[in-house]
Amino acid sequence: MSSPHISLRVARGKHILNSHLLNLYNSSHFKQGQGDVPELPKKTIPPLESFPGGHGLPKGLTGPACIIGAGAAGLQAAMILPTLGITDITILEASDRVGGRAYTHQFPPDSNCKHNYYDMGAMRIPDIPSMQPTLDLVKILQMANPPLTNPPQLTGYTMKNDSAPNMYYYTTKAPDDSPFKNRIQWLLDEYGFSTAKTEAELAAAFEAYFSSPSGWDNYSCRAWLMASLTYVETQIAEMQETSSGLLDQALTEMMIDYSDFQAAEGPSIPWYRIEGTTGDPNNPLTGMSALTEAMREYIINSGGPDVTLNSPVVQMSEKDSDQITVTWGNTVATQQSKDFNLVISTTALGCLQRMDLQGLNLDPSVQMGIRSLSYDRATKVAIKFTDRWWMNSGLTGLGGVSACDLPISNIVYPSWDDGDNAQNYILMASYSWAQDATRMASLVQDYPNAEVKNVDDPLVTLCLQNLVKLFQTNGHPEVTYETLSQKYISHHAWSWSRDPWTAGAFALFGPGQFQNIYRDSFTKFLCNGNFLIAGEAMSVHHAWISGAIDSVVLQVARWAMAKGGMKSVSALKRTKFGGGVDKFPQELDETLLYWSVKLHQGTVKGEEL
Q: What is the pTM of this model?
A: 0.95
Q: What is the pLDDT of residue 448?
A: 60
The CATH number covering residue 52 comes to: 3.50.50.60
* Residue 82 per-residue DSSP state: G
Question: How much is the average pLDDT of 530-538?
Answer: 96
CA dihedral (285, 376, 522, 531) positive or negative:
negative
Which whole-number Å values give the CA distances from 447 to 98, 454, 493, in the listed order?
Answer: 19, 12, 8
Same domain, 343 and 409: no
Per the CB < 8 A criterion, the answer to whether 344 and 74 are in contact is: yes
Q: What is the pLDDT of residue 88?
A: 97
**d(C-alpha 322, C-alpha 74), whole Å:** 22
Q: What is the pLDDT of residue 578?
A: 79
Same domain, 535 and 394: no
Q: Which amino acid is at 109?
A: P
Per the CB < 8 A criterion, the answer to whether 498 and 437 are in contact is: no
Which pLDDT band holds residue 474 (cuts at 50, 70, 90)? very high
H-type helices in 302-402, by residue range? Answer: 349-354, 364-372
Question: How much is the average pLDDT of 399-405?
Answer: 97
Q: Quick check: is 505 in a domain?
A: no
**d(C-alpha 557, C-alpha 585), whole Å:** 11
Same domain, 145 and 188: no
**d(C-alpha 239, C-alpha 231), whole Å:** 12
Domain boundary among 450, 471, 498: 498
Per the CB < 8 A criterion, the answer to whether 216 and 406 are in contact is: no
H-type helices in 105-250, by residue range? Answer: 132-142, 178-190, 199-210, 221-226, 231-241
Same domain, 569 and 463: no
Same domain, 115 and 192: no
**d(C-alpha 523, C-alpha 539), whole Å:** 13
**d(C-alpha 130, C-alpha 589), whole Å:** 15
pLDDT tens track for 178-217: 999 999 999 999 999 999 999 999 999 999 999 988 889 9
Same domain, 116 and 132: yes
**d(C-alpha 427, C-alpha 118), whole Å:** 8
Which whole-number Å values give the CA distances from 413 to 84, 115, 425, in the listed order?
Answer: 44, 13, 10
The domain containing residue 583 runs over which residues? 9-98+292-374+510-601
Q: Quick check: is 88 in a domain?
A: yes
Same domain, 58 and 195: no
Query: Helix (H) and strand (E) counts for the chain?
Result: 18, 21
**d(C-alpha 112, C-alpha 505), whole Å:** 32
Q: What three-state secondary structure class fits 127?
A: coil
Pick from 341, 362, 365, 351: nearest CA to 314: 351
Q: Quick check: is 300 in a domain?
A: yes
**d(C-alpha 244, C-alpha 237), whole Å:** 10
What mean pLDDT is reported for the chain?
A: 92
Listed in order, strand segments (DSSP E) in 366-446 are: 375-376, 378-385, 401-403, 410-412, 425-433
Q: How many folded domains does the chain comprise? A: 3
**d(C-alpha 132, C-alpha 585), whole Å:** 9
Same domain, 403 and 494: yes
Same domain, 279 and 306: no
Same domain, 40 and 147: no
Same domain, 467 and 570: no
**d(C-alpha 278, C-alpha 290), whole Å:** 8
Q: What is the pLDDT of residue 260?
A: 81
More confident residue, 356 or 516: 356
Q: Quick check: is 418 in a domain?
A: yes
**d(C-alpha 121, C-alpha 243), whole Å:** 17
Q: What is the pLDDT of residue 322?
A: 87
* CB proximity list for 564: less than 8 A, separation 6 or greater: 58, 59, 60, 61, 84
> In the predicted model, is pLDDT for residue 281 greater than 90?
no
Q: Quick check: is 435 in a domain?
A: yes
Q: What is the pLDDT of residue 1?
A: 41
- Ranked by mean pLDDT, the top range of 1-10, 20-29, 111-120 is 111-120
Q: What is the pLDDT of residue 7?
A: 84
Q: Quick check: is 329 in a domain?
A: yes
Per the CB < 8 A criterion, the answer to whether 417 and 156 are in contact is: no
Per the CB < 8 A criterion, the answer to whether 303 and 82 are in contact is: yes
**d(C-alpha 95, C-alpha 307), whole Å:** 11
Same domain, 487 and 407: yes
Q: Quick check: is 284 in a domain?
A: yes
